[in-house]
């Protein structure tokens, strides 16, 4: 793998069902992720996707494109902007995984995650052990 190589590109469509499914799977039942009235009450523009759902979807796109032997060393993100999930039309998040750095120990995959033309995760980086690729 060389710096700049695109490992994967995928757009994932999130709906309110996706948020309820993630709430159940993760145990995060914060109502701002499924109740419009509460989201409005606390001043949000609408019901938001869990930041951890967005982070999880981003790594899923990268992992599916890597060899199955790939061993992840670390994965980190900063949550910069929320993903508002419309009750009728949902939300599309566009993920690009690109090789950001290569050294003897690891390949760093840089993830770009965009929603409605804004970047929602910043410094989203997943490092994979070089000897596992």
Partner 1 sequence: MPVNPELVGREFPPTAPYLVGREKVREFARAVFADAPQHTDVAAAHALGFADVVAPPTFAMVIQDLTLQQLLGLEDSGIVLSRTIHAEQRFAYTRPIVAGDELTAKLTVTGIRAMGPAAMITSDAEIRDAAGEHVVTATAVLLVSDAPVENEEAAA
* Residues forming the site for partner 1 (CB under 8 A): 12, 18, 21-22, 24-28, 30, 32, 42-45, 48, 51-53, 55-57, 59-61, 63-64, 68-69, 71-83, 120, 126
Looking at the Cβ atoms of 2 and 68, the one nearer to partner 1 is 68
Minimum CB distance to partner 1, residue 125 (Å): 9
Minimum CB distance to partner 1, residue 63 (Å): 5
Give the integer Cα–Cα distance in Å for 55 and 111: 10
Looking at the Cβ atoms of 4 and 44, the one nearer to partner 1 is 44
Minimum CB distance to partner 1, residue 53 (Å): 7
Nearest Cα neighbor of 130 from 75, 77, 67 is: 67
Looking at the Cβ atoms of 64 and 105, the one nearer to partner 1 is 64
Residue 43 — left, alpha, or beta (φ > 0 → left; ψ -120 to 50 → alpha)?
left
Partners of residue 124 on adjacent β-strands:
111
Minimum CB distance to partner 1, residue 3 (Å): 22
Which strand ranges, in their side-by-side order, compose the sheet holding 91-102? 6-14, 91-102, 106-115, 118-129
Give the integer Cα–Cα distance in Å for 124 and 42: 27
């Amino acid at each position: 793998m060389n710096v700049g190589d695109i490992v994967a590109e995928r757009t994932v469509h999130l709906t309110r069902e996706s948020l309820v499914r993630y709430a159940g799977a993760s145990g995060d039942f914060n109502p701002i992720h499924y109740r419009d009235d509460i989201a409005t009450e606390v001043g949000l523009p609408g019901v938001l996707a869990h930041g951890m759902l967005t982070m999880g979807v981003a790594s899923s796109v990268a992992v599916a494109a890597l060899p199955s032997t790939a061993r992840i060393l670390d994965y980190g993100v900063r949550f910069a902007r929320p993903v508002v999930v419309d009750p009728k039309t949902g939300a599309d998040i566009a993920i690009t995984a690109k090789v950001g750095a290569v050294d003897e120990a690891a390949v760093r995959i840089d993830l770009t995650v965009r929603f409605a033309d804004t970047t929602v995760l910043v410094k989203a980086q997943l490092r994979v052990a070089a000897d596992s690729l």
